[in-house]
Amino acid sequence: MLKICPLIDLFFTDDDLATRAAKIADCGYSFVETWLGADASELKQINNSGIQLVSIVMNFATDAPVAPINPENRKRFLERMDAMADSALAAGCRQGIVTAGQCVEGLCYQTQRASLVESLAEAGDMLSKRGFSINLEPLNTEVDHAGYFLSSPLEGLAIVKEVGLDNVKMLYDIYHMTIMTGNQFEFITHNLSKIGHFHVAGVPGRHEPKKGETNYPFLLQGIEQGGYDGYVGLEYFPLLESRASLLQTREYFGLC
């Protein structure tokens, strides 16, 4: 069975992290992920009521000073990866999400791409010694992330292949890639070995997966049958009350 992990930041938002974790567990989930990452003690609050934290965000797309596509950021980027991995590991979490950053004015595409590959290779080598993995995320540039460097799943795949490390893979966000390209099923099922994490949300709107054009039960069946053993994150902004939304998604995915 697929391991589904709600993004704890978006559900039961009036409660503290420990209470959110308990309420998510009560909806039938065993895993969560978070956009947080800097404070290990804060992350540890999540691991309550049978919930396990499985992924954090290592850097945000607009965090220019540590964007790995800029060669000038290499030292800061590696320091960020090191610090974030420390926090995650202290909370029992062994993987994180890396964004490429916004395109850097004055730097050609190839310079930025080379910097991204080299930065990921250094970070991946450093973190592999600690049993930590990173997942590079392409994002859509049509709706949510204008100016972001990496919007193509093909290019994301090429980059992680060039890095060539088992602990550096791609995060495939079905919401973002539905906006940017088609042929989802074929791309996903032929490249599962290079995908370390999934995100889902309804298209358009980024709300409940059931509310949109994407046939998630079909895609998730293919992912499961392909032998994927990682996590599928619920990174959507619920229109329903949190409990109703999470229960609806479980039913829609055939998990209950």
What range defines the domain where residue 20 resides?
3-252
Q: What is the mean pLDDT of residues 159-164?
A: 98
44 pLDDT band (50/70/90 cuts)? confident
Task: Judge whether 252 and 210 are in contact, CB under 8 Å.
Answer: yes
CA–CA dist 113, 92 (Å, integer):
32
Bigger pLDDT: 38 vs 196: 196
Mean pLDDT score across all residues of the chain: 96
DSSP code at position 91: T
CATH of the domain at 47: 3.20.20.150
Confidence class of residue 64 from pLDDT cuts 50, 70 and 90?
very high
Overall domain count for the chain: 1
Judge whether 62 and 99 are in contact, CB under 8 Å: no
Mean pLDDT for the stretch of residues 88-95: 95
Q: Which residues are catalytic?
A: 137, 235
Span 36-53, mean pLDDT? 84
Farthest CA pair distance, the chain: 52
Using pLDDT thresholds of 50, 70 and 90, give the confidence band for residue 93. very high
For 178, the enclosing helix (H) or strand (E) is: helix 174-180
How large is the average pLDDT for residues 102-117?
A: 98
Q: Does residue 104 register a pLDDT over 80?
A: yes
Q: Which residues of 191-224 are buried (b: 16+ CB within 10 A; e: fewer)?
A: bbebbbbbbbbbbeebbbbbbbebebeebbebbe
Paired with 98 in beta bridges are: 136
Residues 196, 137: Cα–Cα separation, whole Å:
10
How buried is 249 (Cβ within 10 angstroms: 0-12 exposed, 13-18 middle, 19+ buried)? Answer: buried
pLDDT classification of 256: cutoffs 50, 70, 90:
confident
pLDDT at 142 (0 to 100): 97
How much is the pTM? 0.97
